[in-house]
Amino acid sequence: MIKPKGLKKGYKVAVVSLSSGVLGESFAAHQLEIGKKRLKALGLIPIIMPNALKGVDSLEKHPEWRAEDLKEAFMDPSIKGIICAIGGDDTYRLLPYLMEDEEFIHAVHNFPKIFTGFSDTTINHLMFHRLGMESFYGPNFLSDIAELAEELLPYTKRSLEGYFEDHELTEIPSTEWWYEERTDFSSKAIGTERKRHFEENGIEVLSGKRKTSGRLLGGCLESLCDSLTGARYEDEPEIIEKYKIFPWKEEWNEKILFLETSEERPIPEDLRSMLMTLKDYGVFSRVNGVLIGKPQNNIYYEEYKSIYKEVINDETLPVLYNLPFGHACPRCLLPYGIEVTIDTEKKSVKFNESYFA
Q: Which residues form the catalytic set?
A: 119, 260, 327
Q: Give, in order, the Cα–Cα distances in Å from 295 to each of 39, 264, 309, 325.
A: 28, 10, 15, 9
Give the type of residue at 77.
P
DSSP 8-state code for residue 5 = P
Phi-psi region of 158 (alpha: psi -120 to 50; beta: other; left: phi over 0): alpha
HSE-CB at 14 with a 13 A cutoff on CA atoms is 26
- Label residues 178-199 b or e (16+ Cβ within 10 Å = b): bbebbeebeeebeeeebeeeeb
Q: What residue type is assigned to position 139 of the chain?
A: P
Mapped onto helix, strand or coil, the DSSP state of residue 206 is strand
Closest CA to 162 of 220, 116, 123: 116
Contact 117, 93 (CB under 8 A): no
Per the CB < 8 A criterion, the answer to whether 22 and 95 are in contact is: no
Which one, of 273, 274, 303, 298, lies nearest residue 200 by Cα? Answer: 298
Opening angle at CA 303, ends 297 and 304, nearest 5: 70
Which among 310, 322, 323 has a CA at the least distance from the CA of 284?
Answer: 310
